[in-house]
Structure 1
Amino acid sequence: MISKDNAEHYVWGENCDGWYLINRQDMLVIHEKMPPGTSEKRHCHAVSRQFFFVLNGVLSMELEGEMHDIKALQGLEIPPKSKHQARNDTESPVEFIVISHPTTRGDRSDLP
């Protein structure tokens, strides 16, 4: 059994948290938490397809220039080669699951 309580933890970006639920070459599943007002760098993945599923809060996702507010119990697929950026534009933390197939390791290109 794996959970946020026993998974490998890391800190990324602007004091955001991540927990590796599955960490394999063919699949990466991460539970992430973003404090209010935080964001990641805009980027894309050459091969990896991702699915973001919000557990609580609202995740603002810019995908190819279009904004999507993903609410609790909603998800959004990010196809390979799609430019995107996750942000928390609210005053509350947001928690979500990111599923990547295959892993995003070595497959990310940051954009200006």
Structure 2
Amino acid sequence: MSAQIISTANADHYTWGNRCDGWFLVRTPELNIIEERMPPGTSETRHHHVRARQFFFVLEGELTMEIEQHRLTVHAGQGIEVAPGQQHQAINRGPTPLRIVVTSQPPSHGDRIEETP
């Protein structure tokens, strides 16, 4: 396969949660790199992954990441790692859309366990 330029304009797209978008920039059995867009006031459900290690990198906006009951604020140009087994939840508490790149190794889809409240 020859190299190709990937962006949200030509990547596989999906929606999740309440009006959130995701684009697969890299999608292999070993690695997923996804750009996500979260409108203001949206969040994912608290969960953890059995095998996947993730890294969330903020492109625009401000990410509130809750990891194991600790709330951290991640600004544009910053990132945060989530280890396998750690309960976490990504939240956009800001007034503008949040754009993040999420790297998961191995891929996190199918490896997600929802936390009970």
- Which of 84, 104, 108 in structure 2 is aligned with 1:104? 108
Q: How many residues align?
A: 112
- Which of 90, 94, 105 in structure 1 is aligned with 2:94? 90
- What stretches of structure 2 of length at least 5 have no aligned partner? none
Normalising by structure 1, we get a TM-score of 0.98
> Which residue in the other structure is 2:9 paired with?
5
Q: Does 1:28 align with 2:40?
A: no
| Percent identity for Structure 1 against Structure 2 | 47
How far apart, CA to CA, are the structure 2 residues paired with 1:73 and 1:11? 24
Q: Aligned-pair RMSD on alpha carbons?
A: 0.6
**What secondary structure, in the 3-state scheme, does the structure 1 residue paired with 2:41 have?**
coil
How far apart, CA to CA, are the structure 2 residues paired with 1:21 and 1:87? 22
Q: Does 1:62 align with 2:66?
A: yes
Normalising by structure 2, we get a TM-score of 0.94
- Which of 40, 50, 56 in structure 2 is aligned with 1:46? 50
Once superposed, which parts of structure 1, at least 4 consecutive aligned residues long, lie more than 4 Å away?
none
Instruction: Report deviation, 1:24.
Output: 1.1
- State which structure, 1 or 2, has the greater radius of gyration over its C-alpha atoms: 2
